Amino acid sequence: MLDYLIEKNKQMQNFYTSNGISVYVKEPISNGIDIEQIMQYIEKRIPKKFLSEVEMVIIGRLDDFEERKINALYQDGCLYITPDQDNEEDLIDDIIHEIAHSIEEPYGYEIYSDGDLEAEFLNKRRELRNILWDHDYKTQINFFLNTEYDVEFDNFLLNTVGYDKLALLMQGMFISPYAATSLREYFASGFTEFFMYPDHKLLKTVSPVLYQKIKNLYTDD
């Protein structure tokens, strides 16, 4: 019986989903979360066309996670996810967020080419800068006009302002503090919100252009 259980556990660490995604659990996930059930849940929510770029999901710690203070990343067809998860919702959020980054190449023209999403993002960045200025976080406007991810800017939001305080100051502006860090994270955070909370009420209210972009991708055959 013991040998059977050991063998079963080994098999569970390397399996294919119904869409042919290879999942490898290099390190066990905290809180006894069942990754196979999580992947089944995600594949029921996410259209197959949005999974086309994902070849493999690897659960394990990377140096990048600690150095960049992140929980997951997408690179070359692989989703790398930390095993350190608060709960199932936390893991689902990480995976869907990285799926969003995986579709930026095949759907990049539809997402970014007309400049509408960038305009919405930058308008929010300007408003955020004014709010922070009024709370004695004095920074130059150009700091807020770079749409690319910038470590210095992220550190400013995370460590100087603090995400907890930032979440209060930006209510009704961004769906999360991390959504403010770059245009790509703005898109990925909205994509995650769209598929995790199907009523879409928050996303439609806070980021109408972003919501419409994702809805168009979702409904376009």
Contacts 24+ apart (CB under 8 A), 164-171: 169/128, 169/131, 169/132, 169/135, 170/128, 170/131
Tell the residue number behind the tokens 């400049």, with chain if given: 115
CATH number of residue 16's parent domain: 3.30.2410
The answer for residues whose C-beta is within 8 angstroms of residue 82's C-beta and 6 or more apart is: 59, 60, 61, 62, 65, 71, 72, 94
- In this structure, are 44 and 127 located in the same domain? no
Residue 10 in this model has a pLDDT that exceeds 70: no
- In this structure, are 86 and 101 located in the same domain? yes
The pLDDT value given to residue 9: 44
Confidence of residue 8 (pLDDT cuts 50, 70, 90): very low
User: What is the tens place of the pLDDT at every residue in 12-33?
Assistant: 578 999 999 999 999 989 888 9
Task: Using the 3D structure, point to which of 74, 106, 138 is the last residue of a domain.
Answer: 106
- In this structure, are 54 and 78 located in the same domain? yes
How far is the CA of 196 from the CAs of 40, 44, 173, 203, in angstroms?
A: 14, 11, 19, 11
The total domain count for the chain is: 2
- In this structure, are 99 and 116 located in the same domain? no
Residue 221 in this model has a pLDDT that exceeds 70: no
Q: Which domain holds residue 94?
A: 2-106
Residue 220 in this model has a pLDDT that exceeds 80: no
Structural contact between residues 57 and 22, judged by C-beta atoms closer than 8 angstroms: yes
Residue 152 in this model has a pLDDT that exceeds 70: yes
Residue 196 in this model has a pLDDT that exceeds 50: yes
Residue 36 in this model has a pLDDT that exceeds 60: yes
The pLDDT value given to residue 69: 79
